[in-house]
Structure 1
Amino acid sequence: METLLPIIVQIVTGIIGGQAVGAAVKQAAMSQLPKILSGAIGGVAGGAILNSLMGGSIDPAAVAQAAGSLGSSLNIQNIVGGVGGGAILTAIVGAVMGSMKK
């Protein structure tokens, strides 16, 4: 469960980031399925990239001890990486889909 929970956090925050970009960029006119899929995939990718870049800067054991059992999964890399990655990939997919409609 300890390895699955960070991925779930990245997927959920990626979907949130994708929905935010989808709502902000109306000209893309994407349906819900592409926003959800691109947000989830981008969230996992963004979280993985940010975790690899900032891996040693925050001690997960200290965070887990301070915040309980979910602390290591709800760290800044998973949340910010998920939202950012989901938003970026959704914006790219929206731009591609928008240009294909023309």
Structure 2
Amino acid sequence: MEEYLPLIIQLVSGALGGNVAGKLLKNMSLGTLGNSIVGILGGGLGGQLLGMLGLSAGADAGAMDIAGILSSVAGGGVGGGVLMAIIGAIKKAMA
């Protein structure tokens, strides 16, 4: 179960990041559910991207120290917010 904890943290922080971005960028918001779903996807992608680039602290060893947790939160939150903004901009352009 401990190996899935960073992913769970990334997904939850991605949902939060998507909703925060939706609140800040009201004209690109997809609604609470849409922001959450896109944020979850972006959180997972953002966290995995940080891991592939070797920027996630502690994730390689599987250790969940404070650096690993903060890395998962940052990667998930930023990834969720960025993907929500991209999808919101595409939706707005198509409307």
Say which one has the larger Rg: 1
Change (3 A) 1:60 1:8: closer
Change (3 A) 1:44 1:29: closer
Structure 2 unpaired stretches of 5+: none
Change (3 A) 1:81 1:61: closer
Deviations 1:24-45 (A, max 9, x none): 1111242222101110000010
8 Å Cα contact 1:15/1:83 also seen in 2: yes
Structure 1 unpaired stretches of 5+: 65-69
In structure 2, the partner of 1:90 is: 84
Aligned length: 95
State the percentage of identical aligned residues.
35
**Stretches of 4+ aligned residues off by more than 2 angstroms:** 57-62, 70-77
Deviations 1:49-83 (A, max 9, x none): 1122125x744599x5xxxxx53795333111101
Q: CA deviation at 1:89?
A: 0.2
In structure 2, the partner of 1:80 is: 74
C-alpha separation in 1, matches of 2:68 and 2:93: 36
In structure 2, the partner of 1:10 is: 10
